[in-house]
Chain A
Amino acid sequence: MKTILFTLMCACGWGQIESPQLGVMLDVNGRARPVTGAAAAAVVGTPWFDGAIISLACSAQGCVAKTESALFTPAGVVVDAPPGGAIIALDASSPSAAYVYFVQSGKLARWTGSELVPMDFAPGGDVLSLRAVAGGFEYAVERDGEIWVGGKSLGAANSVLLLDGAGSLLAIDGQVRLLRADGTELDFTVGGLVGGFIRMSDQFVQVITDSGMWALDIAPGREQIFLLPGVSP
């Protein structure tokens, strides 16, 4: 180590400072809006799609959104899709790819980034969440009043979101519980009944309640929940 084998040179320029992107949220009107700024001082931007979105998932690789009749990406790829909402699990191992479960029809498909490829799927219960895992996917179903992932019960909950890795989010009345893969739990209180989760980005999850929109920072060590800016009437 006495011989320094490298030299360091600063090469910062204009383009290397930008506004931090927290993710994409769905506002109360179903418009997908980018969220920027600091966590508790976030600012929402203009919708990137002039229409109502009913399902959405975003990550560092991008977003996949579902309208009533189509699946599309912000890049402009649009394909027809079964009606109703969808559960979207982005596949970090394959950029632009995702698993998409169409709730109304009970059909599962693989989104390749340009088309939907149907998949055989017999979940044996109401599918509540999906996540991509190495070589496939996992899903959560409700059986006998409890949330099950494979043979593991997560207990009773109003909503669930399977996180990348082995963690998950559970909504229990006015509480959101973050279950880590290591078995640790963190609880967050929200002002109202949780109606669902939306993956805003790799780091943030939108928590939809009957009293407001929240964002939960799920990054290890930085877990916090804050209100997302609302949209003026």
Chain B
Amino acid sequence: MKVRLLCLLALVPGMLEAQVVLYSLNGIAPSALGSVYGYGQVAAGDSMIVRFRALNTGTASVTITCLSVKNTTGAGFSIVNSSSTPFVVAAGQPMDFFVGFSATAITSYAATLQVGTGTATDACGGTIESAILLATVVPAPILSVATPCTGPDANRTISFGRITQATQQSCTFSILNPFPQALTVSPLLVTGASFTTTSGNAVTIAAGQSASFTIQFSPASGSAFTGTLTVGTRTYTLAGTGFSPPLSALVWNFDSTKIGSGEQHTLSLQLSAPATVSAAGTMTLTFIPSVKAVTADAAVRFVATSTRVASFAVTVGATAITLNAQPNIVFSTGTTAGTITFTVDSGIYGLSGSPSTSVTTAPAAVVLASSAATSRANQLDVVISGFDNTYSIGGMTFSFVDRSGAAIASILADFTTDFQTFFKGQTGSSFLMRASFPVTGDVSQVGGVTVVLNNSAGVVTTPSLKFP
């Protein structure tokens, strides 16, 4: 019975072969390996590597004791990477290995791939899985490219470099036939959305001659692009990068060269040259008071949105920039002396020149918005509103006159402490002040008052205020 079984095993190796099954892998997808595997055409001097897999389909582990490639025609095949044998493969598990081919002679090549699971001592004797490997070496034209392109490099990449988006870069390619007979290069193909060529899809080149063609790189946007160039059996990577040129320098236009506190002004922006790309970003406003005691002024901002950020946009070919979708933007200077800085952030588009400009509101005398005088039974009231962008208001002089305009009295007053206390709770220097004067006597004899207000930047005087 034992003899009969051994004979049966020798006659029907497939029963044992079923434990180790060979596959080739194109990427990660395995394909069952038949008795012959063709590498196809390989350019002279090129190498081609194929990944194979020996899969243990049995329920018990198996030891691969032999892994070999025996060249039978020519000498082009070799195992380039594998685990050393003997190698134990668990049930259901694979052993992968790589077989390369490379040769220069223009002819056909063959080899036998063997995977043995015999005993360690008989190496590739015993049970063997095998396949015939075939390859044909064909003449390889020599590809070159003229500047400004570079390559092909070791990875067969040809670079078109970096060019402005929406422009075009043309490079001349040359295919040399170094062989003593005519060479037909087919296919000759270019792929990739940003790469085009006017060449045909095949070319025949006389012995020792060259054929030229051009490829255009036309990036539509600011990003990296790749394509392929297939020259016969060889495939090259075409690479290029489109980029957006920075926007030209900003031209800042204010509606006035003289800008003070308590004002609204209009700002418009232009580019010094038409934009080569439609761009968008933001413009921010910052304010640094020149008054030490103050850190902010809420009124300094873009008026329409009550914010300090505006959007900006420019369309390709235009110089005018829109701000918050308008041709200009209005900002308030607030009521605090300081420096207002506008800064454009163009993001990925970049910007030539400075992205910022500043305007300064200088310290000024108190600005009066209104002033009035009223009287009550035994009291005179003076009401003044305005703002003081220095936050130093306090000293005042009240000059009273009678009904005929003759001076009655002049009173010096210092409200500095009161104002400093008031300003601490404010964001801005606007104020409404009521000064009251108790009167002894006939209040109706007081005809009017003039108030002089002092601050660190100067003096301002109210009109002559009449008591009713």
Q: Which of B37-45, B91-99, B123-131, B410-418 contacts A (4 or more CB under 8 A)?
A: B410-418
**B-chain residues with CB within 8 Å of residue A13 when the two chains form the complex:** 418
The residue in chain A whose Cβ has the minimal distance to the Cβ of B408 is: A4
Question: In residues 383-406 of chain B, which contact A (Cβ within 8 Å)?
Answer: 385-387, 398, 400, 402, 404, 406
Contacts of A53-75 to chain B: CB distance below 8 A: none
Q: Are A16 and B434 in contact (CB under 8 A)?
A: yes
What are the interface flags for A90-132 relative to B under an 8 Å C-beta threshold, 1 for contact and 0 otherwise? 0000000000000000000000000000000000000000000
Q: Is the CB of B305 within 8 A of A38?
A: no
- A134: chain B residues at CB < 8 Å are none
A12–B431 CB distance below 8 A = no
Identity of the chain B residue whose Cβ is nearest the Cβ of A9 in the assembled complex? B438
Q: Is the CB of A16 within 8 A of B428?
A: no
Q: Give residues of chain A (199-223) contacting chain B, Cβ–Cβ below 8 Å.
A: 203, 212, 219, 222
Residue of B nearest to A36 (CB): B430
Q: Which residues of A contact B441 (CB under 8 A)?
A: 4-7
B299 at the interface (CB under 8 A from A): yes
A116, B138: Cα distance in complex, Å: 104
Considering the chains assembled together, what is the distance between the CA atoms of A18 and B442 in angstroms?
30
Report the bound CA distance from A134 to B206 in whole Å: 111
Q: Are B303 and A227 in contact (CB under 8 A)?
A: yes
Q: Quick one: which of B334, B404, B409, B443 contacts A4, CB cutoff 8 A?
A: B409
Closest B residue, CB atoms, query A3: B441
Is B437 touching A43 in the complex (CB atoms < 8 A)? no
Distance of A229 Cα from B427 Cα, bound (Å): 15
Tell me the chain B residues, 247-261 only, with Cβ under 8 Å from chain A. 261
**When A13-B418, A17-B418 are in contact, do A40 and B263 touch as well, CB less than 8 Å?**
yes
CB of B380 within 8 Å of the partner chain: yes
Let me know if B305 and A232 touch, CB within 8 A.
yes
Known contacts: A8-B400, A8-B411. The answer to whether A229 contacts B306 by CB under 8 A is: yes
What CA separation (Å) do A41 and B369 show in the bound complex?
A: 12
Give the distance in Å from the alpha carbon of A229 to the alpha carbon of B422 in the complex.
Answer: 23
Is there a chain A Cβ closer than 8 Å to B239's Cβ? no
Please indicate the chain B residues that have their CB under 8 angstroms from the CB of A11 in the complex. 436-438
Question: Any chain A CB within 8 A of the CB of B194?
Answer: no
Contact yes or no, B369 A16, CB < 8 A: no
Complex interface: chain A residues within 8 A of B370 (CB): 203, 219, 222
Within 8 A of A (CB), among B437-468: 437-443, 445-446
Measured CA separation A226–B369 after assembly (Å): 14
B197 within 8 A of A: no
Cα of A230 to Cα of B324 in the assembled complex, Å: 13
Q: B298 at the A/B interface (Cβ < 8 Å)?
A: yes
Contact (A6, B445) CB under 8 Å given A41-B332, A228-B303: yes
Q: Mark B364-389, 1 if CB is under 8 A from A, else 0.
A: 00010110000000001000011100
Partner of A227, one of B264, B298, B385, B436: B264
Task: Point out the residues of chain B lying under 8 angstroms from A7, CB to CB.
Answer: 439-441
Select one of B299, B408, B438, B446 contacting A43, CB under 8 A: B299
Does A20 sit within 8 A of B, measured CB to CB? yes
Give bound CA distance, A226 to B332, whole Å: 10
Asked whether B304 lies within 8 Å of A212 as measured between CB atoms, the reply is yes
Q: Which residues of chain B are within 8 angstroms of A16 by Cβ–Cβ distance?
A: 418, 433-436
Q: Chain A at the B interface: mostly helix, strand, loop or mixed?
A: loop
Whether A44 is near chain B, meaning CB under 8 Å from some CB there, is yes
B65 within 8 A of partner (CB): no
A227 touches B330 (CB 8 A): yes
Q: How far is the CA of A222 from the CA of B368 in the complex (A)?
A: 11
User: What is the 8 Å Cβ interface bit string for chain B, positions 202-243, against chain A (1 contact, 0 not)?
Assistant: 000000000000000000000000000000000000000000
| Inter-chain contact B433/A9, CB cutoff 8 Å | no
Question: Is A24's beta carbon under 8 Å from chain B?
Answer: no
* Contact B445 A38, beta carbon cutoff 8 Å: no
CA distance A9 to B413 in the complex (A): 10
A232: which B residues are within 8 A, CB to CB?
A: 305-307
A17 touches B422 (CB 8 A): yes
Interface: B293 (CB within 8 A): no
Interface pair B432/A19, CB less than 8 Å apart: yes
Which A residues are CB-close (under 8 A) to B446? 6
Docked Cα-Cα span, A21 to B383, in Å, equals 13
**Within 8 Å CB of A229, what residues of B?**
299, 301, 303, 306, 332
- Cβ of A10 to closest chain B Cβ, rounded Å: 5
Closest Cβ of chain A to B361, distance in Å, is 10
* CB of B319 within 8 Å of the partner chain: no
* CB neighbours of A18 from chain B (8 A): 422, 431-432
A141 at the interface (CB under 8 A from B): no
Complex Cα gap A17–B445 (Å): 27
Q: Cβ of B304 and Cβ of A5 under 8 Å apart?
A: no
Distance of B453 from chain A, by nearest CB (Å): 13
- Whether A6 and B387, one on each chain, are in contact in the complex, defined by CB atoms closer than 8 angstroms, is no
Is A39 in contact with chain B by the CB < 8 A criterion?
yes
Cross-chain contact B445 with A5 (CB below 8 angstroms): yes
What residues of chain B lie closer than 8 Å to A227, measured between beta carbons? 264, 303-304, 330
Determine whether the beta carbon of B430 is less than 8 Å from that of A37.
yes
CB contacts (< 8 Å) of B387 on chain A: these are 37-38, 41
Q: How far is the CA of A231 from the CA of B300 in the complex (A)?
A: 15
Residues of B contacting A4 in the complex (Cβ-Cβ under 8 angstroms): 408-409, 441
A232 to B305, CA, bound (A): 5
Given A6-B443, A13-B418: A41 touches B428 (CB 8 Å cut-off): yes
Assess whether A12 is in contact with B304, with CB atoms less than 8 Å apart. no
In the complex, the answer to whether B369 meets A38 with C-beta atoms within 8 Å is: yes
Name which residue of chain B comes closest to A8, CB basis.
Answer: B437
**Interface flag for B322 (CB, 8 Å):** no
Pick the most buried of A1, A11, A38, A232: most chain B CB atoms within 10 A of its CB: A38
Q: Which of A9, A17, A233 contacts B437 (CB 8 A)?
A: A9
Nearest CB on B from A3, distance (A)? 9
Contact: B413 with A12, CB < 8 Å? yes
| 10 further interface pairs, Cβ-Cβ under 8 Å (given A227-B303, A232-B305) | A1-B408, A7-B440, A10-B437, A14-B418, A17-B432, A41-B430, A203-B370, A226-B264, A229-B299, A229-B303
Interface residues, chain B, with chain A CB atoms under 8 Å away: 261-264, 297-301, 303-307, 330, 332-335, 367, 369-370, 380, 385-387, 398, 400, 402, 404, 406, 408-409, 411, 413, 415, 418-419, 421-422, 426-428, 430-443, 445-446
7 contacts between A and B (CB under 8 A): A6-B440, A12-B433, A14-B422, A17-B419, A39-B369, A42-B299, A222-B370
Going nearest first, the 3 A-B pairs with the smallest beta carbon separation are A6-B441, A5-B441, A41-B299
